[in-house]
Structure 1
Amino acid sequence: MPVRMTGMISGMDTESLIKGMVDAQRLKNKRVEDKSTLLGWKQDKWKELNQKLYKLYTDDLSKMRLQGNYQTKKATSSDTRVSVTAGTTAPNGSHLISIEQLASSQYVTSGKIADDVTAKTTLKDLGMIGSATGSLVVQIQNGDTKRNFVVDDKTTLGNFIDALKEAGLNANFDTTQKRLFISSKNSGYDSKFTITTGEMSTAGVDALNNIKSLINYAGIGSAGQTKVLNAINVLEGKNISDTLYNNVMSKAPGEKITGADAEEQKIIDALVVLRDYAIKKVESDTKADAIKQIKDGIKASLISKYTDPSDETFIKLKAEVQSDVDNGILPSDTTPEQIERIAKERYAVLDNLKAQVASSIDSGKLKVPDDKTREEFIDEQAQTAYDTLIPQDKANMFISLAEKEYKSTETIEVDGKTITKAADYQNKVKEIYDSAINGNIATALTDVNNGLVANVKNYFVNSAITDIPGNSKLQNIGLDEITGAVHDATSADGYSVVAAKDSIVTVDGAQLIGKTNTITANGLTITATGTTAPGETISFNVANNTQETYDMIKNFIKSYNAILKEMNELYYAPSSRGYDPLSDDEKEAMTDGQIEKWEKKIQDSILRRDNTLSSVLSTMKSAMMTRVEVDGKYYSLSSFGIQTSSDYTEKGLLHIHGDKEDGLFSALDDKLMKALEEDPETVVKVLSQVSMALYEAMGEKMSSIPNVRSAYTFYNDKTMAKQQTDYKKQIALLENKVIAMENKYYKQFAAMETTLAKMQQQTNALAGMLGMKQ
């Protein structure tokens, strides 16, 4: 804040005068600031209340709406090999259970592979190769997922593991143990998998590789590759007519093709997958070619700056490139034209390094030594940096410079047309691309489709897998042919198979079979952790468990009452009329305790008669009064002794008849406990439906409204945030207005002081001329 010397001539208290003149404007500011403060307190209060409401919604209420959470019966067993949970329909009494077999996933562990093997080791180096007329194929079958994994000279152990994972298996190569660990992701007999080997003809492998090339298999990502492999699996072995091939391949992308039946539709959908990826590749290649033309044009534009054959630097760089050729750093067949082009590229790199040094000098990062001129120092530093670069670095730096030129506003010539690098780049790419679309790309698509059809046909004619005589090639990686046997197997070298199995449990004489070790039947959920001996049984008992359900309901009512009571207190809070947020001057005149008490008075009433709060209160109370129908009869919470009292000041709080902790209702008959003991299913159905009504009502209240309310929020947080932003802007504008007003008054008073000073000087001068003493 500036220091001002005022009133020295006039003797007036200018500061007080100006303060009084702008106080009226500051009062306007205070009103807006008060609104902002009150809104901030309201936001804080709503955030706190919203957290509590959301907790009720996600915790107690979410549990109450699901019938499975009402444990009206309890099963007990002293044997740790089995745990039993009883549902509402489970029959009371003693039960017998025997556990013949536990469910298991299929596990395969290889024997130890050589110590020097890693995931990057090729399968060829491990002896997994085909014959002279065919290629080794590993067939992986996991449920409906099938993979024909072709092994070539470059295929690694890691590639094999990836193929297993693609087929939906867990697979890992332990680098410490040098073993493969393979397993199904789910338990149960149906989760069994097979890994077998065979041989595919060279013609079949070539056709498959051609298909992959036509659809850019390597560049479509793992999800795309999975779609392609699934499509090939669908098509394998199918007799597809030329008419169907041509029908699919002639249609535009996105055009619906309907099959005669479900089986033909699967074939069409699989062909469409291959066709669409082939089309994308052609279009991508065409666009890439258009982009390459632009890049080449920009590179040519960049090096065209350095064409003076007599330039000393250019001559020096040409000699450097020639030296790289002579020393074998660059290819020996590099032509004179290529040498000149490379020299120009390097000139661009050196020029850019000089620009970087100059920028560092201008920014203060580098200082020019006293014994050198700026130009000498720039040349020296740039040359030093240039000399550290190898030819590949120089080439990469030039390409990077060309990329930056995309953002330039300079113009270049591409295909005989002048384009602006930044503004017209994408348009030029589209122009070249569209030209190709209208011309060559149409022919290219036809050629690709024809090639795709031919190779798909060729693949399925020649893709038969034949057995390989002799020992399994899988033995080279510590495995053997895995045929999905139902029995466990081990070998002396450490190779082992644990077969996939279902769980087999007998309950009260009835044999139950499950995919996992948890089986549900007759209202019982049985989890087995061990087996019983032949003829051995385990007993467990099922009895009513009304207390646990009663306690869950009671805890929910407590949580509901707590939040309802707080909302009532906020909505019906005493008025704070006459209490406004304190100004800084007012706070200076009060103690901390007085300030806290004053502000608490306002904050406690901040949601008084709030419309949003009123709506939430009304919705929650109405939902808890819902009547539901069960077996032709209507029930509500009051049917089970859960209701409000006659004391209107409680404003909707609920009580449970016979609750020993409730002084008003503890002496009444406990209707809830009695109903749970006599007809627990009806109680559960009613309570869950009433809870669901409240759950849905609260969910609706906190549904998102664009520009008004965020999801899972009961109040209009976005509207409040916008209002707060508007207040902040308004306060800033008003504060600027006060400052401008003060400055205006200070200038006016300063002008008055100047005028008075001049008058005094004139008076003094006149008095001096007349010989008068001041």
Structure 2
Amino acid sequence: MATISSLTSTSSSSNAYGSQSKGIGGLVSGLNTDELIDGMTASTRSKIAKQKQNKTLLSWKTDAYRAISDKLVSFANSYTSYSSGTNLYSANFYSRSVITPSGSNSKYVTASGSVTGGQQFTVNGIKQLAQDANFTTTETLSDNYIQTEAVNFGNEDISTILGKAFIVQYGDKQYTAFMPPKEGGGPYTNAEEVAKGMNKALENVDIGGNKTLASVMNVSADGETLNFKNTSEAGNALKIVNGDAELFKSLGIISGSSTIMDKSITSAGLNALAEINPDDLKKETTFAERMKGKSLSFEYNGTRKVITFNDETKLNETDFKNYLQDELDTAFGKGRIQLTKGSDNTFQFKTVLPSGAEDKSSVLYVSSSSIGITGEGSVFGIENGSSNKLNLTTTLDKSGLKGAETAGLVDGNEYEITINGESIKIKYEKDKTSLKDIIDAINSNKNADVNISYQTNSDSFSIVSTQNGASGSVKIGARDGDGNITQLNELEQLLFGKRKADGTIDSSNKELNGKEVKGQDAIILVDFDGEGGADATEISRSTNSFNLNGMKIVANGTFGYQDNGSGVMEYVGGTEGIKFSAGVDTEKVIKAIKSMIDEYNTLVEDSNAAIKEKRDRTYTPLTDEQRKDMSESEITAWEKKAKAGLLLGDSDISSLANDLRFVFMKTGTESNQLSDIGITVSSNWADNGKITLDETKLKNALQDDPERVKDLFTEDLKDNNLMTGGVMSRMKAITDKYAATVGATKGKLIEKAGNVKSPSSMLKNALLTEMNDIDKTIKKYETKLKTERTRYQNQFTRLEVVMQKMNTQSGWLSQYSGQ
């Protein structure tokens, strides 16, 4: 027998009016109880659906209001906001900001800023320009060539592990390290050297936090066996996870046909499986084998070319020099880089001109190479970055600085460089100190008041005072009371002193390699009366920039003065002076007004279209059930019609459209009309007050009388009357009225529908309040619907029980009626 709870269905779905039961109906009565209940609750479900449609309409209406308020807010932000670069509401936007110098000598100045009618002055002459004190070396500092070590064209043992990779995982990240050249060159010969090399490789890998792999991993040698330790203080997991299999076999980490996959390294250490066999660390090769397929990259005056040594027949002592020269000629042009081979098999790369003369201005770098071609113990024995100019980052003896190897600097000694009486101490370490170290030490000493730099193309040091004009000086070396140099020590002579013809240092010579230039102020002669009147005044500044009564004048040449024969510059009477006139930046103003009018016309069109668009009330928001029977394109088309005309005749938008119509109507006096400056209202009433612009008229008005244009746009309203004041004063009043985004009371459209530019309005506005009220009503009806369904469901359940009992009794009676 069926249970009571199973006598009616309990599943549900939804229709046009809300949720409904769905099942097989009464099992005893045969009634479709689902349909009966739906019919009996139709009124309530209809009310729920209607409320949801009303809420959808309000949501659409909110979007329609915001579409217009967005344009108003954007307009205000662009043309009436003081933070905008196109603020047409500000009188300053129309100021005379373009200053024009005039006269035959006007080319010697540039001017900017602002000037009023009372500021009439003349620059009668420019006596001298400002310059900062400076010192620049005049003789070239470098040897102007790149010199290799002696090249071995015979057989040579090379490292089998050089450049090979091993991959370390630290924590959850993997890092790749490469075996570097052995310190001192040549192949690795034992476990201790290999351990040093691996630790150096780890130092070259950055893992973040100012740390390298060497800070978390260490390699040591126990006899000929390598040991790896995790030295991480953080306790992160450390593993060797992959790399070059031949490298691992040579180092005894794996053996036979094994491949490295996962070697965990703990703080206790990981020992290699086998000892290192020194014979596995090297192999004998010919010069051709060392060079075949390898590459060497050069950069010449910014152009980078790669030379690859593919022709094995020329990789020998006899042909190699010509082979490399031909490759350089092909890469950079003939007669640009000259290659010379020394009797000791060294090679020299030198920049020259096609005529054969030395080219001291061109810059040549060895930018990169294959492993084993450059670097310590390599074929050429030079570092990547080697140049025919100075290398600032390598040690002094390898920097290319003339005389560095014979300067007599003693390792470990402290030297002083004296500039402007300030002693700058430099500790010289032969294997560490670089030109960059010295430059950094000078620049970081603020008391010296100078900045030094190396100029690559001119191959010179430039020292410039950080004090402008006559305040600064650059005096190198110890001086006596008369300012004469009393001493240049070895380091000062190396950097700034005169050299002998062979480039070596002359310790007895105290003469500098260059000239100290004094700082001087700029001096101009200004007549503040403009035409004679009071005597002109000489004005000096530490730079070439002068601020005179709000106007900025920058001098870029001299005129009006000449040497009187005694080295004194005197003014030449009768010299034509430079006068200044100010005008409005017409292009900037016209561009802003044109853009403003375009946006205004869009506002007029959109607001009028919104209140005139008719609504077809046969198109209402779709219910969920209706959507199920429609395609996406059909839904889109339906909703487009349903959204049309939502603001038809809306009082607020109608008021906005009416206010906009009169913004550009008659303003000012009869003799001061907008039409006079090229701004006219369309005579077609259907245009609802759209504006046209005559740019030529506007430009002429801005040039002839910018004050008049400014007044027509910015004159204040009288008693908040939109028929008074300037155009932008009216527009600001309108945008504030309808779309103000700040304040206790915001614009009408913002109060009604909110706007993202006013975050608080998104949480509280009139339409949102209405939608929240609808949600409450929907919730009330849904509670009522649930109660109705439960009541009807219980009633039908009782009916099924009664009928089940009656059927049982009928069956029992029928059993005895036949007896």
Q: Which TM-score bucket, shorter chain as reference?
A: 0.3 to 0.5
Please say which structure displays the higher CA radius of gyration: 2
- TM-score when scaled to structure 1? 0.41
Structure number with higher strand proportion: 2
- TM-score when scaled to structure 2? 0.39
Q: Answer 1 or 2: higher relative contact order, Cα 8 Å, separation at least 6.
A: 1
